[in-house]
Amino acid sequence: MIVCTFLKSEIMESINNIFSLKSLKSVLYFLGSMILLGGIWELISRITNNEVPSPSNTLSVFKEVMQNPFQDDPDYKGIGTKLLSSLSRVGIGFGLGSLVAIPLGLIMGSSKPVMNIFNPIVQILRPVSPLAWFPLGLAIFQDSPKASIFMIFVCALWPTVINTAVGASSISQDHKNVGKAFGFSTWKYITKIMLPFTLPHIVTGLRLSIGVAWMVIVAGEMLSGGMGLGYFVWEEGFNGGSVAKILVAIIIIGVVGLLLDRCFTQLQKRFTYSI
Amino acid sequence: MSNTESVVAPFIDVADNILKPVLETPTSIDISNVSVSFKTSKGIYTAVKDINLTVKKGEIISLIGHSGCGKSTLMSTISGMIKPTQGEVYANNKKVMKPGPDRGIVFQNYSLLPWMSVYKNIYEAIDSVLHDLNRSEKKELVEDNLKMVNLWDHKDKLPGQLSGGMKQRVAIARAFAINPAILLLDEPFGALDALTKSSMHVELLKLWNLDNREKTIVMVTHDIEEAIFLSDRVVVMNTGPAATIKEIVDVPLSRPRNKKDIIHSSEYMTIHDRLLNLLIDKFSIDDIKDIRKTA
């Protein structure tokens, strides 16, 4: 019942937002920004004598690519199928990474010794380019999809670990005192104080992680070949000699990345609270 | 003669033991020889030193003194948040080792959990302390206590949506909900405006009355009027470091007290002057002249 009314008000609010002056303004700004991008693109296309295809040419290639996006034959897969396979690998790697990163971050944040032991490891491994993990994964799993999941897993760890640890270590004395004064059990402390306090930090970490993961998957698929959007860019775009297809892929990758980021921004908003 | 005495003696002992609780109010808090020191980067800092204080059951005591005089530290030894470096604190006849549900605390900055509704804030405290109750009994307790502070209508709000006075009432309701024998208030009304403060004083005494005046209340404050209006005794502390008790001033005003009436009584004025003198004697104009002369 409560959930119901909550959802209702949420929906009402978003409907109101869509028709508000503020959202109209932001839509206009967005349109302006797209027009600017198209203009620059068109200009570059003219300067390079259509070496870089113009927006209108790219649009027709886009329509062509989108003809049967979810084609899933053994010899040819549509762009939608490729996108989904990339997304699923990102999802699995990111999910596994989060399952490790969140508890690890919580423990690091709440215990100084654990923090002191793990922090140097994190600091050494964090700056390593995600692509360097790919051959290692290939050597371990002897399988390129698994190797790319492994790569996503490793690089999605760090932002979440670090943000969660920072969050958990900054629980204020006031909140801790509540737990002490009312004799909260460890379980109650974790679920009612530590997790709710750390949640906004965790979501920030997840948001950064999914951004990295999405960036890395394309590069990984170029290396591994045979699957996903990265393969599309490399094989059909570059090797197939169609710059327009490369541009189409770039646009799709960008839009999907933006949508993923938006999802986590919404989560972030949901979990923030005023003091 | 000596023979009859020795025969009667054990009976007298028994009679004494029976009468004791009737004749004497039992001790609620006993602080003996307590000193608290902290290790800092500049060496050991002693906050309070050689404190002895006994508080009877049902008494309201104020700790008053300048900022940093260690009054909060002293109170934290009762709550168990700070362990005394020396000496012992007994609360409800048990040595204080750590915070416990027999001592309810109202913190200076309310310390409500901002991600939970008002209702949940109180429910979780009850759930933690009184885990033997079933769900509906716990819910009933939350309702009773929120109604007591007139906040039942606001039960679904988050603390961030409440005013300072309302937050403080939630914090007080939370402390009362677990029904502690001792209530510890750390500058509870410090952040409130004068009007809200006054009504909160009355509110607090109302709750104390409803409970048959059985709760012992220890309050840290630096508001003289507040201390006199609420307390039976006011403990004035010296300025730290190594603060000691300067004087304990009795407040023999009869209860129930009416704020408007008592401030004009001669008793009130005497106590007020006494406290004022104890607290600000150093800052009289004469002293400043003296300092100039010696300089």
Tell me how far apart the alpha carbons of residues B214 and B211 are, in angstroms, rounded to a whole number: 6
Query: Which residues on chain B are in Cβ contact (under 8 Å) with A183?
Result: 99-101, 128-129
A-B contacts (CB, under 8 Å): 60
Is the N-terminal amide bond of B84 cis, ω within 30° of 0? no
pLDDT for res B22: 58
Query: Which residues on chain A are in Cβ contact (under 8 Å) with B101?
Result: 182-183
Q: Which tops the pLDDT comparison, A248 or B25?
A: A248
pLDDT at A1 over 60: no
pLDDT for res A257: 93
Q: B9-20: per-residue pLDDT in tens?
A: 777 777 777 766
pLDDT at A262 over 50: yes
- For CA atoms A71, A254, A132, A109, give the dihedral sign: negative
pLDDT at A109 over 50: yes
pLDDT at B135 over 70: yes
Q: B65-76: per-residue pLDDT in tens?
A: 888 788 888 999
As a three-state string, the secondary structure of B72-87 is HHHHHHHHCCCCCCEE
* DSSP structure string for B8-56: HHHHHHHHHHHHHHHHSPPEEEEEEEEEEEEEETTEEEEEEEEEEEEEE
- Position A164 confidence tier, pLDDT thresholds 50, 70, 90: very high
- pTM reported for the whole predicted model: 0.78
Taking an 8 Å cut-off on Cβ atoms, the answer to whether B115 and A197 are in contact is yes
The token duo for B73 is 């530290």
For residue B44, what are the β-bridge partners? B39
What structural domains and CATH numbers belong to chain B? 22-102+180-294 (3.40.50.300)
Q: Which tops the pLDDT comparison, B156 or B241?
A: B156
**Test mutation, A182, A188, A272, A274, chain B, max B CBs within 10 A:** A182
Specify whether the backbone of A259 is left (phi greater than 0), alpha (psi in -120 to 50) or beta.
alpha
B159 touches A: beta carbon within 8 Å: yes
Tell me how far apart the alpha carbons of residues A105 and A158 are, in angstroms, rounded to a whole number: 9
pLDDT at B224 over 50: yes
Q: Which of B116, B129, B158 sits opposite A182 (nearest CB)?
A: B129
Check if the interface score ipTM surpasses 0.90.
Answer: no
Taking an 8 Å cut-off on Cβ atoms, the answer to whether B128 and A185 are in contact is yes
Q: A197-250: per-residue pLDDT in tens?
A: 999 999 999 999 999 999 988 888 888 877 788 888 888 888 888 888 889 889
Closest residue of B to A197, CA-based? B115
